[in-house]
Structure 1
Amino acid sequence: MDLVPKPDQVVTAASNVAHKVLYGGLADLRPMPRTLIDEGTLREVYHYRPSGKVKEQGDPVLLVTPLAAPALCYDLRRGCSLVEHLVTLGRPTYLVEYGQVSFRDRALGMEHWIDEVVPTAIREVSEHAGGRPVHVVGWSLGGIFAMLTAADSPDLPIASLTVVGSPVDVKQVPLVAPLRPLLNLTAGRGMITRTYQALGGAPRPLVRWAFQLSSFQKLVTKPVAVATHLDDTEFLAQLEAVDRFTANMIAYPGRTFGQLYHRFIKGNALVTGSMELGDRTISLADISVPVLVFGGATDGIAPAPAVKSVVPLLTGAPEVRFEIVPGGHLGMLTGRRARTSTWQVLDEWVAQWSSPAEGVPTPTARKKAASATKTAARKTAATKASAPKKAPAAKKTASKKAAPKKAASKKAAAKKAAPKKGASPEAIGANPRRRYGSGGSRALSK
């Protein structure tokens, strides 16, 4: 809102305030309808039901949630929901979440998610979708779980892997880097270790506080931001949805939190590309499926350099691509700008690595098809308008004779105009004029 608001801004602001007071908010927080298809210990696999008359087709997508964060990260609100976007396209969409973590789960370690939860979810989704390979998408710690699972179980039916905001090099995380030398002074017997052992993990209030601390500047300036955006309905609705997301944080199991704290935060275990888990070593170089990596331009929890560090470690993947997209840690996944950046690239990537005959068009392809249909309709209308009502028999005979020649010339022209295989300017990374200004957003292909 301007310093001196215009009349229409005042009216909109008053309407927004009234709507919030009378109805409790502006955001459409209805969840996308879904059905439980599999469950186990801290494992719930859901299938999102098709939207309206849209028919599901193509290879399925499995969304892997991180620990402590609710599944709302993928279904934040209507209009800013990755789930809604995929379902509307007709893509079979699934999600694995973990339910509420309690004190009785304190003995569960990372092995539970990498050996049981994520692999089982992938197999169940593939079976439910008719045996098709699965496109696995993981955000934050969900991306790390997905990578470790794919590296440890190469026999899983995975079509591609997408990692969104998953930091591999913790030294490049500003919130953690200054504290690491101090944390290592305690030799594993510091206050943090004693606290999570006594509590059986990281409780919900602590997790919520940590997430808010990561965006402390936004938290402090929030009242001012609200006051200056009272006329921006979309801004206020997004703020409401993020507040609900933060309020629904989930606790960490004790042993898992200990592993993440000691191995990732203190030890920076994944920076070399491998880590010890149980009785084995898991190496990211063993990932044998295509990998798409997203970094957020303003992500404070997982800055783009910390995420990009995984690219040179994925030496076994047939293709690795890195994209910098607008937004912070949550915004890059489900913010307002994600609709025209992250989601569009993800659509193209999934289409590129899907079964050849699946027939699920991307939004870009749909727009092109619609445009081509309109152009053809205009040409047909123009031809009908210019054509004479009745043509002499001689002219009809001549046109029949000329038809084969015209058809042959059209076929020859089509052959000349046909693009070479692999040279599509719409392919991710093939177009030097990226949608995003940063040079780092261009894909890195091997």
Structure 2
Amino acid sequence: MALPILGLPRRLGAAGTNLSDKLHRRPIADLRALPRDIVERRTSYTLYRYNAVPGTAVRGRPVLLVPPLAAPALAFDLRRGCSVVEYFVQRGRPVYLVDYGPVSFAHRGLGIEHWVDSVVPSAVETTAEHSGADGVHLAGWSLGGIFTMFTAAAHPDLPLASATAVASPFDLRRVPLLALARPVDRIAGALVGPAYRAMGGVPAPLTRLGFQLSSLDKYVTKPLAMLTHADDRDFLAQLEAVDRFMGEMYAYPGRTFGQLYHVVMRSNEFATGTMELAGRIVELAKIDVPVLVVAGTGDTLAPLPAVRHLIDLVTGSPDAQLVQAPGGHLGVLTGRAARRTTWPAMEKFFVKHDD
């Protein structure tokens, strides 16, 4: 029988099984990657195509998933039963993923223009050619969503059916966490440039720490959450999958970090809808394809006002929509609630623009 005062789980038998698995280091989450094939491998990225589900008719234009930097691309395939990729392939949609791989000191000279002008456009063209489709749904998470939007703006000739940004902040003055960091920047900002240039970027442990600080309350209360949900195997599986994700964070290349640091701490350039890349101005108002913006209602790293601002910038889009869904920065993309909120909203938008 449950003891609500102590927060003990109702199903003690299930809790005992889960505890035994944890103590014996038996995995709870099914972390097997969905089967996929390499479409193209280049020095700066690998393009994958996920296998169709046997017996499921392939339909609709392909979706090309664009990850951010530092965070591993497995965010889109977090675990079986809670995977963005799995959701779409089960509905017959062709799914492609561009994966940059780990960042090293050798990548220190790469800037945002490398992804906006080279990597993402190349992946779009290859996806269209490989799938035989006349248009590709381009969808990015976090910084990947920013890459997506500036790619769509900078390359109007790409075969795009739509552009989607999930948890991508464009008005960085609306991010409370960054407001707390600006006084530190005023004091020690002059040291940041020499530090990241000397290291060639930001090491993976620091990017991991930054991600953890954005949801510090969840890390502090994690032991209590595990206790009160000890009978919920799906909840524990999600925690296990997120731990694996956090353990595989990458470094940030130096030049890109420098550009982002300038935007985040100094100019808030993204909020203007323009950015200077490779000597020319790229304007988000020039995007002429449908745009979907997804914001997490519990996201502290990319809160709703910062994400929603993108709608005001894509004035040339024939169909710009905002979707609000529960979850934090990672949760809105691949949390347990995303099965019922974010993913169906994306699929509905893609279906609308498949023709």
Q: 2:283 matched to which residue of 1?
A: 283
Match of 1:145 among 121, 144, 147: 147
Partner of 2:210: 210
Partner of 1:240: 240
Residue of 76, 79, 93 corresponding to 2:78: 76
- Matched with 1:271 is 271
Which one has the largest radius of gyration? 1
* Alpha-carbon shift at residue 19 of structure 1 (Å): 2.2
Q: Which residue of 2 aligns with 1:118?
A: 120
For each residue in 1:284-340, what CA deviation from the matched residue of structure 2 results, as whole angstroms up to 9, or x when unmatched?
001000001011000010000000111111111001111111111111111110011
Residue type at the aligned position of 2:116: I
Residues 5, 112 of structure 1: CA spacing in aligned structure 2 closer, same or farther, 3 A cutoff? closer
Please name the residue that 2:97 is paired with: 95
Distance in structure 1 (CA, Å) of the matches to 2:303 and 2:9 = 41
1:192 deviates by 2.0
Deviation of the 1:182 alpha carbon = 4.4
Structure 1, residues 143-194: CA drift from partner, whole Å, max 9, x if none?
00000000000000000111100000111101102322542566xx622222
Q: Give deviations 1:384-416, integer Å, cap 9, x for gaps.
A: xxxxxxxxxxxxxxxxxxxxxxxxxxxxxxxxx
Instruction: State the alpha-carbon separation in 1 of the partners of residues 284 and 40 from structure 2.
Output: 28
User: Is the CA contact (8 Å cut-off) linking 1:60 and 1:132 kept in structure 2?
Assistant: no
* Total equivalences in the alignment: 353
Structure 2 counterparts to residues 315-394 of structure 1, below 5 A = 315-355=315-355
1:190 equivalent in structure 2: 190
Structure 1: distance between partners of 2:19 and 2:153: 51
- Secondary structure at the aligned position of 2:294 is classed as strand
Give the residue type in structure 2 aligned to 1:46: Y
Q: What are the equivalent positions in structure 2 for 1:33-182 lying under 5 Å apart?
A: 33-182=35-184
Partner of 1:95, secondary structure, is strand
Query: TM-score, normalized by length of structure 1?
Result: 0.77
Shift in Å at residue 255 of structure 1? 0.7
Q: CA deviation at 1:43?
A: 1.0
Partner of 1:397: none
Task: Give the structure-2-normalised TM-score.
Answer: 0.96
| Distance of 2:200 and 2:348 partners within structure 1 | 43
Q: 8 Å contact 1:42–1:101 — kept in the other structure?
A: no
Q: Percent of pairs identical after alignment?
A: 51
Q: Distance in 2 between matches of 1:5 and 1:152?
A: 53
CA distance in 2, matches of 1:166, 1:239: 23
Do 1:183 and 1:266's aligned partners in 2 also have CA atoms closer than 8 Å?
no
Opposite residue 224 of structure 2, the aligned amino acid is V
Amino acid at match of 2:259: Q
Q: CA RMSD in A?
A: 1.6
Paired with 2:159 and 2:58, the residues of 1 have a C-alpha distance of 19
Q: 2:315 and 2:76 mapped to 1: Cα distance?
A: 29
Aligned in 2, Cα 1:57/1:190: closer, same or farther, shift over 3 Å?
same
